Amino acid sequence: SAVVSVLNVSAPRGSQAVLPCKSHRMVWTQDRLNDRQRVVHWDLLSTYYGDSKMERLCDMYSAGHQRVYSSYNQGRISMPRNAFKDGNFSLVIKDVAESDEGTYSCSLHHHYCHLYETVKIQLAITKNAEDTSEYWDGEKPVVVALEGSTVMLPCVNQEHIWTERHSEEEQQVVHWDRQPPGVPHDRADRLIDLYASGERRSYGPFFIRRKMNVTGAAFALGDFSLSISELESADEGTYSCHLHHHYCGLHERRIYQVFVTEPVREKKVVNLTTHNVAPAPLFFPLPSDPNVVRGHNVINVIIPESRVHLFQQLGYILATLVLFIALLIVIILISRKRRQRGYEYNVKKYGEKDVNLKEFTVDTTDLTQYKSEDIRLDYKNNILKEKAEQARSFPAKNIDLDK
- Predicted confidence (pLDDT) at residue 105 exceeds the cutoff of 90: yes
Mean pLDDT, residues 154-176: 79
The pLDDT score that the predictor gives to residue 216 is: 83
Report the phi/psi class of residue 288: left, alpha or beta, with left for phi > 0 and alpha for psi in -120 to 50. Answer: beta
Superfamily for domain range 2-31+168-261? Immunoglobulins (2.60.40.10)
Rounded to an integer, what distance in angstroms lies between the CA atom of residue 172 and that of residue 31?
A: 8
Point out the least confidently predicted range of 18-32, 128-142, 236-250. 18-32
Helix (H, G, I), strand (E, B) or coil at 67: strand
The pLDDT score that the predictor gives to residue 79 is: 92
Rounded to an integer, what distance in angstroms lies between the CA atom of residue 79 and that of residue 92?
A: 6
Rounded to an integer, what distance in angstroms lies between the CA atom of residue 228 and that of residue 18?
A: 6
Q: Where are the alpha helices (DSSP H) in 234-307?
A: none
Beta strands 77-78 and 53-61 are unpaired
User: For the structural domain made of 38-159, what CATH number should be given?
Assistant: 2.60.40.10
Beta strands 141-146 and 115-126 are parallel
Rounded to an integer, what distance in angstroms lies between the CA atom of residue 84 and that of residue 246?
A: 18
> What percentage of the chain carries pLDDT values higher than 90?
23
Per-residue three-class SS string for 320-381: HHHHHHHHHHHHHHHHHHHHHHHHHHHHHHHHCCCCCHHHCCCCCHHHHHHCCCCCCCCCCC
Beta strands 266-269 and 141-146 are unpaired
What's the start-to-end Cα distance of the chain, in Å? 155
| 15 or 5: which leads in pLDDT | 15
Contacts of 161 (CB under 8 A, 6+ apart): 110, 113, 115, 247, 248, 249
Contact assessment for residue 19 and residue 10, using Cβ atoms and an 8 Å cutoff: no
The pLDDT score that the predictor gives to residue 57 is: 94
Contact assessment for residue 266 and residue 278, using Cβ atoms and an 8 Å cutoff: no
Tell me how far the alpha carbon of residue 159 is from its chain's centroid: 27
The pLDDT score that the predictor gives to residue 325 is: 94
Rounded to an integer, what distance in angstroms lies between the CA atom of residue 237 and that of residue 128?
A: 68
Q: What is the DSSP string of 70-114?
A: -GGGTTTEE--TTHHHHTB--EEESS--GGG-EEEEEEEEETTTT
Point out the least confidently predicted range of 109-113, 170-174, 227-231, 382-386. 382-386
Contact assessment for residue 40 and residue 109, using Cβ atoms and an 8 Å cutoff: yes
DSSP secondary structure code for residue 233 in this structure? G
Rounded to an integer, what distance in angstroms lies between the CA atom of residue 119 and that of residue 135?
A: 15
Contact assessment for residue 233 and residue 304, using Cβ atoms and an 8 Å cutoff: yes
Beta bridge partners of 126: 146
Give the chain's mean pLDDT: 75
Mean pLDDT, residues 311-335: 89
pLDDT digits (tens, 9 = 90+) for 294-319: 444 444 434 444 455 567 778 889 99
Q: Provide CATH 2.60.40.10 ranges for the chain.
A: 2-31+168-261, 38-159
Rounded to an integer, what distance in angstroms lies between the CA atom of residue 2 and that of residue 250?
A: 6
Please count the CA atoms within 13 angstroms of the CA of 183 that sit on its side-chain side. Answer: 14
Q: How confident is the model at residue 222 (pLDDT cuts 50, 70, 90)?
A: confident
- CB atoms inside a 10 Å sphere around CB 102: 21
The pLDDT score that the predictor gives to residue 284 is: 33
Q: What is the pTM of this model?
A: 0.52
